[in-house]
């Protein structure tokens, strides 16, 4: 048994003597055992047998058991970041922007830290990143408890290399689903009870451990509805070696802060339902996932638009429809079908003219009549527009009163009328952040969508609506947009 095993045994004994129920010890590999992680119970010895793939299940992994939080929806990402292949999975929750932003900044921090020195993570690193690399990193953030007004999200980073080394770090975040307020796991505890718990879990007595000894913070706390408290923390002496213990409800009660007692009460209440967000407006972070916005112009069409809706629904792809006022007035039920399915809709003028050739009052009339037709059909006024042929000048931009969404990739689907031509063209020209122009009124365009969408998704693209693509960057009336600007 190496040095690590010895200190683990000492920690184990001390915790055992402290009459605390030790659930498990989880250690980063010490480079000699051949196993990236070793799981141990108090009465077991650390295994020195080399372990074959796959990695043994960590006991702290059991704490990751995700629960369905109201309004929650999952995201995944596989990326090559520096020497690491990163497999990330996380959950956003509708209507909790503070939580979603916290998850995003934590995730971006992990990804940036894995990027080579002097560079930052880019969504393009998550394209075609299936092949394994020497180092594997598993990143997760998922609700592990949801009750009353409380959702608890456990964030964890586990990394391993081929030389037997590994590390694991985790934290819990508490969010109030009514106020949106975020708290860290440590806030469950009275500040004065933290050093004692820290010393019990790490095996370093509180009176010996000098404050300067850089005690790793206790950040991963989970309270059960019956009041037991499971604390997972890093052991001193190196990052990534973790220990978990569960305190009895009696011991835990004495350590809880007012907030901790509030959480305990909520964990025994039914989860509060949350209002749903339209799918096209759900939070996605296109600085993290490689996004593309497929857009379809000139509809709605009674025959082809429903065919496209069926493909998009089956592929779980978001999209944006730039409708003309005349086709909306002719097919209001199809426009409503698009809106009811949650897709984004933009104004594409009434009669599809070159706006640059019209007097300004006529430009305004084109926009207003289309707004009215779309409002009558769908119940909502579009917040963005696309000028036919992409034709706009300063006067037009000033007159339309909405952001102008042009495109970065022109499929020329209307010209080739051939999926074998436009699908490869889009695949060749697309990059993360791009707006792609197509036309749902063309039967040949519909014929190419299954292949185009499944290929893009297979490469790692997340197909989003235009509002999702630009989330976090303002869309200003009169300004022209073609693609999402990259993170500086
Ligand atoms: Ni058009």
* Interval between CA 322 and ligand 1 midpoint (Å): 8
Q: Which residues pair with 74 in a beta bridge?
A: 91
Cis peptide before 54 (omega within 30 of 0): yes
- Mean confidence (pLDDT) of the chain: 85
- Transcribe 187-246 into DSSP letters: GGB-GGGHHHHHHHHHS--TTTS-GGG-PPP--EEEE-TTS-EEEEEEPSSSTT-EEEEE
User: What is residue 427's three-state secondary structure?
Assistant: helix
Beta strands 242-247 and 291-297 are unpaired
Exposure of 213 by Cβ count < 10 A (0-12 exposed, 13-18 middle, 19+ buried)? exposed
**Residue 297 appears among annotated catalytic residues:** yes
pLDDT at 164: 63
The band of 232, judged by pLDDT with boundaries at 50, 70 and 90, is confident
Q: Residue 36 above 70 pLDDT?
A: no
Query: How far from 390 is each of 61, 353, 393, 414, CA to CA, in Å?
Result: 52, 11, 10, 15
* Annotated catalytic residue within 297, 371, 413, 440: 297
pLDDT at 234: 75
* Interval between CA 379 and ligand 1 midpoint (Å): 23
The band of 260, judged by pLDDT with boundaries at 50, 70 and 90, is very high
Residue 488 gets which letter from DSSP?
A: -
The residue with greater pLDDT, 267 or 130, is: 267
* Interval between CA 393 and ligand 1 midpoint (Å): 17
Number of Cβ atoms within 10 Å of the Cβ of 352: 17
Q: Residue 157 above 70 pLDDT?
A: yes
* Interval between CA 299 and ligand 1 midpoint (Å): 9
Residues 401 and 477 sit within 8 Å (Cβ to Cβ): yes
Buried b (16+ CB within 10 A) or exposed e, 266-301: bbeeebbebeebbbbebbbbbbbbbbbbbbbbbbbb
The tens digit of pLDDT for each residue in 405-452 reads 999 999 999 999 999 999 999 999 999 999 999 999 999 999 999 999
pLDDT at 382: 98
pLDDT at 45: 26
Calculate mean pLDDT across residues 65-91. 92
Across 83-219, where does the E strand assignment appear?
84-93, 135-147, 150-160, 166-176, 182-184
pLDDT at 207: 56
pLDDT at 316: 95
The tens digit of pLDDT for each residue in 261-277 reads 999 999 999 888 878 88
Q: Residue 376 above 50 pLDDT?
A: yes
Q: Residue 16 above 50 pLDDT?
A: no
The model carries a pTM of 0.84
d(CA 312, CA 246): 47
The band of 404, judged by pLDDT with boundaries at 50, 70 and 90, is very high
Q: List the single range of 9-13, 38-42, 277-281, 312-316 with lowest mean pLDDT.
A: 38-42
Highest averaged pLDDT of the listed ranges 67-76, 185-194, 340-349: 340-349
The tens digit of pLDDT for each residue in 283-327 reads 999 999 999 999 999 999 999 999 999 999 999 999 999 999 999
Token duo for residue 237? 């002496």
Q: Residue 14 above 70 pLDDT?
A: no
pLDDT at 92: 96
* Interval between CA 304 and ligand 1 midpoint (Å): 15
- Transcribe 357-404 into DSSP letters: GS-HHHHHHHHHHHHHHHHHHHSS--S-B--GGG---HHHHHHH-S-E
Q: Residue 50 above 70 pLDDT?
A: no
* Interval between CA 411 and ligand 1 midpoint (Å): 13
* Interval between CA 438 and ligand 1 midpoint (Å): 9
Greatest pairwise CA separation for the chain in angstroms: 86
- Transcribe 292-349 into DSSP letters: EEEEEES---TTHHHHHHHHHHHTT---EEEE-HHHHHH-HHHHHHHHHTT-EEEE--
Residues 156 and 139 sit within 8 Å (Cβ to Cβ): yes
* Interval between CA 324 and ligand 1 midpoint (Å): 8
The band of 199, judged by pLDDT with boundaries at 50, 70 and 90, is confident
The tens digit of pLDDT for each residue in 82-113 reads 999 999 999 999 999 999 999 999 999 999 99
Query: How far from 138 is each of 25, 171, 294, 420, CA to CA, in Å?
Result: 19, 14, 30, 38
Considering only CA atoms, which of 231, 210, 211 is closest in space to residue 220? 231
Q: Please report, rounded to a whole number, the percentage of residues in the chain having pLDDT higher than 90.
A: 70
**Residues 362, 293, 460: CA angle, nearest 5 degrees:** 175
Query: How far from 193 is each of 26, 100, 255, CA to CA, in Å?
Result: 23, 30, 5
Considering only CA atoms, which of 54, 93, 99 is closest in space to residue 72? 93
Cis peptide before 415 (omega within 30 of 0): no
Q: Residue 241 above 90 pLDDT?
A: no
The residue with greater pLDDT, 361 or 49, is: 361
Q: Which residues pair with 158 in a beta bridge?
A: 138, 168
* Interval between CA 285 and ligand 1 midpoint (Å): 29
**Residue 352 appears among annotated catalytic residues:** no
All structural domains of the chain = 39-205+214-266 (3.30.565.40), 279-481 (3.20.20.370)
Q: List the single range of 168-177, 223-232, 272-281, 328-337 with lowest mean pLDDT.
A: 272-281
Handedness of CA 122, 123, 128, 130 (dihedral sign): positive
């Amino acid at each position: 048994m190496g040095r690590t095993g010895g200190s683990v045994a000492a920690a184990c004994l001390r915790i055992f003597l402290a009459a605390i129920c030790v659930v498990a010890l989880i250690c980063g590999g010490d480079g000699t055992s051949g196993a990236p992680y070793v799981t141990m119970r108090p009465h077991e010895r650390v295994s020195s047998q080399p372990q074959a793939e796959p990695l043994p299940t960590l006991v702290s992994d059991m704490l990751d058991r995700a629960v369905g939080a109201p309004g929650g929806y999952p995201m995944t990402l596989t990326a090559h970041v520096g020497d690491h292949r990163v497999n990330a999975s996380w959950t956003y929750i509708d209507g909790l922007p503070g939580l979603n932003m916290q998850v995003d900044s934590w995730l971006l921090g992990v990804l940036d830290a894995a990027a080579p020195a002097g560079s930052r993570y880019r969504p393009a690193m998550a394209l075609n990143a299936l092949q394994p690399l020497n180092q594997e990193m598993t990143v997760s953030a998922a609700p592990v408890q949801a009750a009353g007004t409380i959702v608890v999200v456990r964030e964890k980073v586990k990394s391993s290399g081929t030389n037997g080394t590994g590390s694991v770090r985790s934290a819990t975040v508490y969010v109030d689903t009514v106020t949106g307020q975020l708290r860290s796991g440590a806030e469950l505890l009275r500040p004065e009870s933290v050093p004692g718990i820290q010393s019990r879990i790490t095996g370093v007595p509180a009176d010996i451990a000098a404050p300067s000894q850089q005690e790793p913070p206790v950040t991963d706390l989970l309270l059960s509805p019956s009041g037991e408290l499971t604390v997972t923390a890093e052991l001193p002496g190196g990052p990534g070696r973790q220990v978990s213990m569960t305190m009895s409800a009696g011991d835990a009660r004495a350590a809880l802060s007012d907030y901790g007692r509030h959480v305990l009460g909520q964990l025994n209440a039914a989860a509060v339902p949350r209002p749903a967000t339209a799918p096209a407006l759900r939070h996605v972070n296109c600085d993290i996932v490689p996004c593309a916005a497929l857009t379809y112009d000139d509809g709605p069409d009674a025959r082809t638009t429903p065919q496209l809706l069926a493909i998009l629904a089956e592929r779980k792809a978001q999209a944006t429809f730039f409708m003309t006022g005349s086709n909306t007035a002719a097919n209001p039920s199809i426009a409503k079908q698009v809106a009811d399915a949650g897709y984004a809709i933009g104004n594409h003028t009434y009669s599809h003219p070159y706006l640059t050739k019209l007097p300004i009052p006529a430009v305004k009339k084109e926009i207003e009549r289309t707004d009215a037709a779309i409002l009558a059909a769908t119940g909502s006024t579009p917040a963005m527009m696309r000028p036919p042929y992409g034709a706009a000048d300063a006067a037009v931009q000033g007159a339309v009163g909405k952001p102008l969404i042009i495109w970065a990739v022109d499929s020329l689907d209307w010209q080739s009328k051939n999926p074998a031509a436009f699908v490869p063209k889009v695949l060749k020209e697309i990059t993360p952040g791009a707006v792609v122009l197509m036309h749902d009124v063309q039967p040949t365009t519909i014929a190419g969508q299954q292949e185009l969408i499944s290929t893009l998704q297979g490469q790692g693209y997340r197909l989003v609506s235009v509002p999702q693509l630009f989330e976090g960057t303002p869309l200003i009336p009169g300004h022209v947009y073609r693609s999402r600007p990259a993170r500086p």
